[in-house]
Amino acid sequence: MKMSPRERKLAIAMGAIVLVFANLLLMAAFSRKSAALRADLADRRATWANMQDLLGEEGMWAARDAAIDVKQPRLANESAAGVDLLNVVRVMARQHNVTLENEVFGGLEKSQWYRSVPVMMDTHSSWPDLVAFLYQLQKPDQFMVCESVNISVDPSDQTKMLGHFKIARWYAP
């Protein structure tokens, strides 16, 4: 069937409109996909950069892990561990003129990384004695942790400090 010039013009115009719309849809789809891929790539590159940073520290973290394996104490006797810890704390307190009161043994607490044997106590001492006591109590190889500390000025004697401590030793799990 042969089209008249008017019909041909109309057909060309319709075709052009369809083509323009199809291209707009195509461009929009391409733009969306491209933006999503760019964002995805940026996320993944950031993640990969973090992973690379971590991989750069691999030696350090392996060494720290090995040090923990070597230094973290092993729990030989659960029932004696609390008593041993309290004895150690008592000795240190005596050395620094820190008075211990209300000593209580806590129960064994387990976590993924350690087994905690705590003791609770109140202290009464001067500020310098307390600082010296705490300095001796916590050393990197002793695995002694102050799980809870509350220190305040003694209201009856402003030169003295009152303390409530939950001190624990963290054994290997």
Footprint of other proteins (CB under 8 A): 26, 30, 33-34, 37-38, 40-41, 44-45, 47-48, 51, 54-55, 57-58, 61-62, 64-65, 68, 71-72, 111-114, 131, 134-135, 137-138, 140, 142-153, 170
**Spatial contact of 130 and 166, defined as CB atoms under 8 Å apart:** no
**E strand residue ranges, the chain:** 99-105, 109-110, 115-126, 144-153, 160-171
Smallest gap from Cβ 156 to other proteins, in A, equals: 14
Smallest gap from Cβ 77 to other proteins, in A, equals: 20
CA distances from 68 to 79, 94, 106, 168 (A): 24, 30, 24, 17
Residue number, 107 or 140, with CB nearest to other proteins: 140
Residue number, 119 or 134, with CB nearest to other proteins: 134
Residue number, 21 or 135, with CB nearest to other proteins: 135
Smallest gap from Cβ 105 to other proteins, in A, equals: 19
Longest dimension (CA), the chain: 115
β-bridge partners, 171? 115
Residue number, 105 or 136, with CB nearest to other proteins: 136
Smallest gap from Cβ 158 to other proteins, in A, equals: 10
Q: How many CB atoms lie within 10 A of CB 137?
A: 19
Judged by DSSP in three states, 173 sits in coil
What is the token pair recorded at 101?
Answer: 């009161």
